[in-house]
Amino acid sequence: MMTSWQRWSATDIGNRRAQNEDALVCRDYDGLWAVIDGMGGINAGNVASAALAHAIEHMELKSSLPDAVDQIEDLVLAVHDQLHDFAQQETPRRTLGCTLALMRLTQTWGLVAWVGDVRLYRWRDQALTRLTQDHLDASHELTRLIGDGLLLPDFAVVRVQAGDRYLLASDGLHNELSDARLGYWLAQEPELAQRELIAEALAAGGRDNLSLIILEVETDAISSNRSLQP
């Protein structure tokens, strides 16, 4: 059986930020998606997220799982070094960087990579499961950031099933909504969930940029995508 997917995505500046420092990568044609959350303020956080998004968008994907892990790790570390060097030259008094959650699907395996507190959730059999663990300390400060400090991304291999729904969510979204609310909306039609998750996060405060990607796994179907830029 052929596996395919549909994608819905959205990003919003939120209620308090001067600009949107998030970035989305949606390579529906070859099964790779990422939510990137930039940090550093005006003319810094958006530079970090855009640099990583550009690198991911232009990556020539490896076909085997071990090669894919090595490739993504090498790419993240290369961007990490570039951002660190840029920050030392341009913004030495500010922390510049970004966090990431990335998912790649093929006909035989699924791969998740993440750094920081962008999350990946799975909705399966009416239950919500978080597949990533935040890189935060006891004070809820980031312990890993692409562009600052020592870095290694984390990886997980996932077995996807027809009917699975996956949510990649920036911290601006999941910090505003409980797991119960995330699960409630993921149980609805994805187009509705796409819209209402952003709306509810804005109503709850919208203190940061809000970004999400919803994926629905199918078999013997034609993949498509829908995106929303509020």
Residue 166 backbone phi and psi in degrees, to 5: -120, 140
For residue range 33-50, what is the model confidence (pLDDT) as tens digits?
999 999 987 668 899 999
Q: Name the nearest CA neighbour of 9 among 30, 33, 39, 32.
A: 33
pLDDT digits (tens, 9 = 90+) for 87-103: 888 877 778 999 999 99
Distance CA 119, CA 171 (A): 7
Over residues 116-133, the mean pLDDT reads 98
**CATH no., domain 3-225:** 3.60.40.10
Tokens of 3: 């596996």
Q: Cα–Cα distance between 178 and 59 in angstroms, integer? A: 34
Output the pTM of the full model: 0.94
Residue 174 has pLDDT above 90, yes or no: yes
